[in-house]
Amino acid sequence: MGRVLKYISIFGGVQGLNVLLSIARNKITSVLLGVGGVGLIDLYSRTADLIGSSTNMGLSFSAVQHIAELHGKGSSRNGKEIPARENVALVHYVRLVRSWIVIAAAMGFLLTLLLSPLWAYISLGSRQHTTMIMALSPLVAIMTLTGGELAVLRGLRCLKSIAIISSVGAFLAILITLPIYWRFGTVGIVPALVLSTGIIFLMELYAAHRVMPYRISFNSWRFLRRAGRMIRLGVGYMTTGMICAACELLVRSFIVHYGSFTEAGIFAAGLTLTVTYTRLVFTSMDVEYFPRLSAAKGQVERLNVMVNRQIDVLTLLMAPMLMVFCLALPVIVPLLYTRDFLEAVPMVYAAASYMFLKSISVPIGYLSLAHSDSRLYLYVETSYSVIFLLLSVAGFAGLGVIGVGVALSLSNALYLAIAWTVYSRAYGFVMHRDTLRRCLIQYCLLLAGIGACAIGQGSLFSLSIGCLVALVLAFGSYRVLKNEVRLTERWRKLTGRKRTTATDD
């Protein structure tokens, strides 16, 4: 559990800086473009995600495992560590990955350009936005190329570079996008997205090139066909990502069709508040948890211990964080956006338990990824996307954006039940009794606190209940972490303070 907490702390700190920068960007963006403009940014971004997920062949994910494996095997020679660029097998494989990434980027560019009227109709319900969708074609290509270089950095364990690029990229995004929004309004949304993503790609390319010089090759089909296993594995992940992105885009499109851009902006803000600002505790999953879980593939007991410890730490951190977040929502929404976005607060209350359930379901969901079982991963993740789409449509039709918040919580509860059942049978997953007991207690307390905030609407009684729940959750989490990972000793070590002991005169 201590190892999990360590990496969450490291990458959570970086993500925390990114969130602060994101808060500043969203605040100024909401002032410059209004609720409708925020909705347009969200729709354009999700459209690019959908097209990219449909054309990137999942290479940015499927390549990481083998790059890490080759790097680990060839990292030393005669007991001495050697640079990655001198590992022949690794150099060969990275060149293969980069070659296919360029092919995928070209496919994404062309499909965006050629099918732009169709994408405009699907995402915005009108072909009037075709020109802006055509302008997204460079964004789709750059996103694919960025994913490829990030895969190289992750596989080579260049964690420091990833952290620096993430923080600097978030800062540069503000410097680039906001002047464009101020000068051109909503017309500048797509150019701003392309430029900010392009800057991040160039930084990742520079960092990856320093470790592994950039080389690609298209002159030999015999060379390119060696990526068969990587592509087969990646296609499963690509299909999953495509379905997830399509369902999310359809939800947004439904809101625009039967609601308005204003409601789409409220939904986008509510989703950002629910997911983005509370995802700090998930930042170590891809970087640290996934490779460690992959190394234990086939060892049922060891896998169960890893998954349960990950669930323990995530839920212990998430529960008090969510409760404090819900208490502060009426105050922080006008600070993060404008008062026009206060309509998103009820949606966030309805969706808040989604993030707690996600703290349980995500560590379990990584089991299929660690076993490279793309087919099972596709089935389970698709079930969530379809459930989310159906519940969101029904929820918005009945309750507006609040109904979409309810749909988020219900869909993740059903996904947790499905993932738990399927992976128990497939990989022998068992949740430890102590872990299950802690999760149930925290979840019931959290629901009581969120319910008080939502019903009381800022009354003294509701705030008192919410604060009491937050204190109970925080104290309970502290006690468990203190006993399990020797939290006090780790803090003393971090701050340079040593335990003092009495000595005899």
Q: Which residue has the tokens 């430029």?
A: 195
Q: Is the pLDDT of residue 443 over 90?
A: yes
Give the per-residue pLDDT at 502: 40
| The two structure tokens encoding residue 216 | 């690609």
Q: Is the pLDDT of residue 214 over 70?
A: yes
β-strand partners of 196: none
Give the per-residue pLDDT at 489: 52
d(CA 96, CA 212): 13
Residue 413's pLDDT band, with cuts at 50, 70 and 90, is very high
Give the per-residue pLDDT at 77: 58
Residues contacting residue 369 through CB under 8 Å, at least 6 positions apart: 290, 293, 294, 377
More confident residue, 369 or 362: 362
| The two structure tokens encoding residue 446 | 């959290």
* Mean pLDDT of the region 290-304: 79
- Whole-model pTM over 0.85: no
Mean pLDDT for the chain? Answer: 81
pLDDT tens digits, 216-266: 888 777 778 887 777 877 777 778 878 887 888 888 888 888 887 788 888
Asked whether residue 499 is assigned to any structural domain, the reply reads: no
Least confident range of 9-23, 180-194, 278-292 = 9-23
Q: How many residues make up the chain in this entry? A: 505
Give the per-residue pLDDT at 149: 92
Domain that holds residue 440: 2-491
Asked whether residue 171 is assigned to any structural domain, the reply reads: yes
Rounded to the nearest angstrom, the gap between the alpha carbon of residue 328 and the centroid of all alpha carbons in its chain is: 23
Asked whether residue 497 is assigned to any structural domain, the reply reads: no
* Mean pLDDT of the region 410-439: 93
Give the per-residue pLDDT at 107: 92
Asked whether residue 15 is assigned to any structural domain, the reply reads: yes
Residue 441's pLDDT band, with cuts at 50, 70 and 90, is very high
Asked whether residue 176 is assigned to any structural domain, the reply reads: yes
pLDDT tens digits, 150-181: 888 888 878 778 878 877 888 888 888 888 88
* Mean pLDDT of the region 488-499: 49
β-strand partners of 76: 81
Q: Is the pLDDT of residue 14 over 90?
A: no
* Mean pLDDT of the region 86-109: 89
Asked whether residue 302 is assigned to any structural domain, the reply reads: yes
Cβ atoms of residues 240 and 377 within 8 Å: yes
* Mean pLDDT of the region 117-123: 80
Q: Which residue has the tokens 């029904």?
A: 394
Q: Specify the number of domains making up the chain.
A: 1
Asked whether residue 440 is assigned to any structural domain, the reply reads: yes
Asked whether residue 332 is assigned to any structural domain, the reply reads: yes
Least confident range of 20-29, 358-367, 410-419 = 20-29
Give the per-residue pLDDT at 466: 84
Residues contacting residue 1 through CB under 8 Å, at least 6 positions apart: 309, 312, 313, 481, 484, 485
Residue 316, CA distances (Å) to 5, 194, 218, 267 in order: 11, 38, 50, 28
Give the per-residue pLDDT at 421: 94
Other residues' Cβ atoms within 10 Å of the Cβ of residue 241:
23
The helix or strand, by DSSP H or E, that contains position 340, with its residue range, turns out to be: none
